[in-house]
Structure 1
Amino acid sequence: MINLITNRIQAIASLIDTENIVCDIGTDHGYTAIYIAKDLKAQKIFASDINNKPLSIAKKNVKKYGVEHKVETILSDGLDFIINDKIKINVCIISGLGGNTILSILEKDCNLIDSYIICAHNNTQKIRTWTKNKKYFIQNEKVIEDNNIFYEVIKINKYAGVKIKSKYDILFGPLMRKNISKAFVSYWARIEERDRDIYQALVQSDKLKAKKYKIKLKMINKVIGKEIVKYV
């Protein structure tokens, strides 16, 4: 089908229903949108990017894979085309970016969008804090590994799902921390190893920062400590 299908694209597509109107923000070469169309997911997919060069490649790929009837490519900065053209979107995908970049896109959140699928490789606690502050719900979430990089894939729904209530929910996810997977444990074991090195380096030089890392390390141990024996 498509040569460059990844675990990340498959994880995103698994959270989309057949009747959805979907947009893929920062579509790059369009593979996520094309896979969703070829997999008979979604009625319509808007594949947008802020840059002309990747978008022109996406247009060629859409034609190559014969999904022009489902996928429309759009030059746009983030959510601007949705707001400007008043397009109703069931699922908005923002994938493969860092949490801070995703948050800058989410600043233009509007009532034309029902839900988001966020796929980020860092700072996902900031995404969950945003979700909590907006009083939205977590409908689904998972950790996946793709090309030796861990991503958290989070479906945020404005109307249904699980509320974020605690600091543990913000850091680990309210669904993932109660349904622990092998990928989740491997992901947090890698973070624990990195943060322990940072903590030890800070103990003498910056006690305030060191204390924050110590608290985080205790939280990680509480959530995955017993699970590491099973999975890692």
Structure 2
Amino acid sequence: MRLINQTRLDFLLEFVEPATILADIGTDHGYVPIEAIKSKQVSHAYGADLNFNPLNQARKNVEKAGLSADIDLIQTDGLTYFKEHNIRLDYVVIAGLGAQSISKIIAQDYLGINNYLICANTDPWPIREQLQLKNLLINQEFFLVDQDQKYWFLWVSRISGRKVVSKRDLYLGVDKHLLNDRDYQEFLALTTAKYKKLLPLVHHQKQKQFYELFINMVEKGENHGSTENN
């Protein structure tokens, strides 16, 4: 899915229900909570970052926007602060990070969080693996192409969606929006071609087995092992 007249932030906020509470993890300059409040998508927002400098810049941006009463900025590692205080969150946004980093944040999951809106800039199979461990469900997945950069968007829910069950679910995804997307299909074909070229050069048995498994799954094109929960 190519983003043409829409930013990734606009796309992400489309999935947010009005009058809800949102936390942006790794908020950087605070653009997500600012836009969420300005667009009246949420009633209150948090911006969280581990590092002081971006959080300080976010604070300046929030003050400039006149939204200091609506946005709390917190210096914390991932979800640590929210989990320790058992803060109820309708949506947790994690964007602009690699899948491994996002997976580590989701490992801190707690029952007070209803949904995650994730935008990863690397293949999200580590995220799906963590969702499987945490019994979280994938409501929707999209493969986004923005100015030739590739991103994976996952709307994760505690109460509705599909479980990650099989290896195919783990490595290729579970949602029809993703699996039927032409850009994603092209990405899978290119990745398969790359793995075929690398396969004769690989001596590590586990890596070789993964390449063979991936090639087999893509070429079979069979979707199995996914179950939907409502």
TM-score by length of 1: 0.83
Give distance in 2, aligned partners of 1:82 and 1:18.
21
Where do 5+ consecutive residues of structure 1 fail to align?
Answer: 225-232
Give distance in 2, aligned partners of 1:100 and 1:178.
20
Give distance in 2, aligned partners of 1:206 and 1:80.
37
Q: 2:59: which partner in 1?
A: 59
The alignment covers a number of residue pairs equal to: 218
- Percent sequence identity is 26
Whether contact under 8 Å (1:117, 1:154) holds in the other structure is yes
Give distance in 1, aligned partners of 2:196 and 2:117.
31
| CA RMSD across the alignment | 2.4
Give distance in 1, aligned partners of 2:7 and 2:176.
18
Give distance in 1, aligned partners of 2:43 and 2:58.
19
Whether contact under 8 Å (1:150, 1:187) holds in the other structure is no
Where do 5+ consecutive residues of structure 2 fail to align?
Answer: 223-230
Q: 2:88: which partner in 1?
A: 88
Give the secondary structure class of the aligned counterpart of 2:211. helix
Give distance in 2, aligned partners of 1:32 and 1:72.
13
- The alpha carbon displacement at 1:136 in A equals 2.0
Which of 1 and 2 has higher RCO (CA within 8 Å, sep 6+)? 2
Residues 45 and 218 of structure 1: is their aligned pair in 2 closer, same or farther, counting only changes over 3 Å? same
**1:147-226 equivalent positions in 2, closer than 5 A:** 147-176=147-176, 180-202=180-202, 205-206=203-204, 209-223=207-221
TM-score by length of 2: 0.84
How big is each residue's C-alpha offset from its partner over 1:175-228, in whole Å with a ceiling of 9 and x where there is no partner? 1477512332243234334333332432xx44553232022022223339xxxx
Give distance in 2, aligned partners of 1:84 and 1:206.
42
- More displaced stretch, 79-88 vs 59-68: 59-68
Give the secondary structure class of the aligned counterpart of 2:42. coil
How big is each residue's C-alpha offset from its partner over 1:25-74, in whole Å with a ceiling of 9 and x where there is no partner? 00011112222222221111101100110011111122233333432211
**1:136-147 equivalent positions in 2, closer than 5 A:** 136-147=136-147
Equivalent residue letter for 2:168: Y
Give distance in 1, aligned partners of 2:177 and 2:168.
8
Residues 186 and 61 of structure 1: is their aligned pair in 2 closer, same or farther, counting only changes over 3 Å? farther
Whether contact under 8 Å (1:143, 1:187) holds in the other structure is no
Give distance in 2, aligned partners of 1:181 and 1:99.
20
Give distance in 2, aligned partners of 1:178 and 1:215.
20
Residues 71 and 208 of structure 1: is their aligned pair in 2 closer, same or farther, counting only changes over 3 Å? closer
Give distance in 1, aligned partners of 2:18 and 2:151.
24
Give distance in 2, aligned partners of 1:6 and 1:129.
30
Equivalent residue letter for 2:23: C
Equivalent residue letter for 1:43: S
Give the secondary structure class of the aligned counterpart of 2:29. coil
